[in-house]
A and B are shown apart, each in its own frame.
Chain A
Amino acid sequence: MSISPLMDKVVAKLQRSDLPAFKPGDTVRVHVKIKEGDKERLQAFEGTVISRSSGPDASFTVRKISFGQGVERIFPVNSKVIDKIEVLRSAQVRRAKLFFLRGRRGKSARLREAE
């Protein structure tokens, strides 16, 4: 949805283009920059992409099970905190939002691998 052609131009300039293509169901490792004092290090957050939003303020949600507890993290796509994204696996899914995974754990929370 565009507000005006001028706005599209501005937004296009602000978009990041260095991230790989990924979609809901993919297992990704997101490398996040973390500042500790004056040092910067990378921390990885690995999990399943369960939703993506589009537009100039696009974001995506990554879900993982950490110590038996479901953890979700929402990343803005254009955030400079994201150093890089690795796509590890892809799964065959039939919907855009995989929120049904929230109610499941263990075996029933598996997704079918994509060929």
Chain B
Amino acid sequence: MAVNGILGKKVGMTQLFDDKGDVHPITVLQAGPCVVTQKKSQAKEGYDAVQIGLIEFVKESRLTQPERGHLAKHNLPPVRFLREVGITSDGGGDGATAESVKVGDKVLVDIFQGEKFVDVTGTSKGRGFAGVVKRHHFAGGPKSHGSMFQMPGSIGSSAFPSRVFKGMRMSGHLGNARVTVRNLRVVGMDLDDNLLMVEGAVPGPNGRYVVINKAVKPPRERRGFGGEETIDPLKTSKRKTKKA
């Protein structure tokens, strides 16, 4: 049985060059160390999961009373960030899953060893009250000839239907919302410093907390996304016809 995710923090971004000379954007995440703070079981809560906390220095007085009580139950140190992540059982029946992860166990980056893709969940940067161009990628108006630049334009017809349809995209609050980015390729990890390097961007500013999970829906390898050895079925059929 293994824990499927870990808590972390966005450290920053940099770039990595491959042998072809192409550059890849890299996000450095601090992943863990985490501690298991609670176990949820099929029998009690109706599903299997663990609650983990990111071990980072935090004054005990910064925690709420319920948090302190919750952690004190198992003599755990104060943690800054608590979230629930899933667990997978290594086959086995219901009895086997309950055993191997215990409250107080450490969760480290090495859970991603051998993993090609991860999903990262975080809170995006808040943009405040944003217009339609920024929020919904409207094209906006012409930039000259006395026009209004970033206006939404018409929002519907007149006498019929005499109202604005529900779901009409308009300006409003943008960002500061929970965002999950799926299938970020793992490009490296540092077990000493608890770092995980992924290709691509992660929501939120540097220093914000994120939840890193093993990819739920990794790209299908047969479509040629999994590496060099995989083949695209469409292209192979073409190649065969060419040879013949």
Q: Does A33 contact B (CB under 8 A)?
A: yes
Contacts of A76 in B (CB 8 A): 17, 23
User: Residue on A with the closest CB to B16?
Assistant: A14
Contacts of A14 in B (CB 8 A): 14, 16
Contact for A79 among B21, B28, B190, CB less than 8 A? B21
A113 at interface by CB-CB < 8 Å = no
Partner of B206, one of A3, A11, A35, A79: A3
Q: In the complex the two chains form, is A3's CB within 8 Å of B11's CB? A: yes
Query: Inside 8 A of A109's CB, which chain B residues have their CB?
Result: none
Closest to B14 in A: A56
Judging by beta carbons under 8 Å apart, are B11 and A81 in contact? Answer: no
When the two chains form their complex, are residues B195 and A79 in contact, meaning their CB atoms are under 8 A apart? no
Is A21 among interface residues, defined by CB-CB distance under 8 A? no
Known interface pairs A7-B14, A10-B195, A76-B17; 17 further A-B residue pairs with C-beta atoms within 8 A, sorted by A's residue number: A3-B11, A3-B206, A4-B206, A6-B11, A6-B195, A10-B11, A10-B14, A11-B14, A14-B14, A14-B16, A57-B14, A57-B15, A78-B17, A79-B17, A79-B23, A80-B17, A80-B18
**Interchain nearest-CB distance for A39 vs B (Å):** 14
Instruction: Compute how far the CA of A23 lies from the CA of B56 in the bound complex, rounded to whole angstroms.
Output: 43
> Which residues of chain A in 52-86 are interfacial with respect to chain B, using CB atoms and an 8 Å cutoff?
56-57, 76, 78-81
Residues of B whose CB lies within 8 Å of any CB of A are: 11-12, 14-21, 23, 28, 30, 190, 193, 195, 197, 206-207
What is the CB-to-nearest-CB distance from A82 to chain B, in angstroms, rounded to a whole number? 9
Cβ–Cβ contact B28 & A6, under 8 A = yes
A4 x B12 contact (CB < 8 A): yes
Bound Cα distance A14, B190 (Å): 13
CA separation between A80 and B20, bound complex, in Å?
A: 8
Counting contact residues on chain A (CB < 8 A from B), the size range is 10 to 19
20 sample A-B contacts, Cβ–Cβ < 8 Å, listed by A number: A3-B11, A3-B12, A3-B206, A4-B206, A7-B11, A7-B12, A10-B11, A10-B14, A10-B190, A10-B197, A14-B14, A56-B14, A57-B14, A76-B17, A76-B23, A78-B17, A79-B17, A80-B18, A80-B19, A80-B21
Given A33-B21, A76-B23, is A7 in contact with B16 using a C-beta cutoff of 8 Å? no
Q: Which residues of B contact A78 (CB under 8 A)?
A: 15, 17
Smallest CB separation, B140 vs chain A (Å)? 31
A9 within 8 A of B: yes
Chain B residues in 8 Å Cβ range of A3? 11-12, 206
Interface flags, A1-45, vs B, CB<8A=1, else 0: 001101101110010000000000000000001010000000000
Cα A3 to Cα B11 with chains together (Å) = 8
Residues in B with CB closer than 8 Å to A6 are 11, 28, 30, 193, 195
Residues on B with C-beta less than 8 A from A11 are 14
| Complex Cα gap A33–B18 (Å) | 13
Which B residues are in CB contact (< 8 Å) with A56? 14-15
- Chain B residues whose C-beta falls within 8 Å of the C-beta of A4 in the assembled complex: 11-12, 206-207
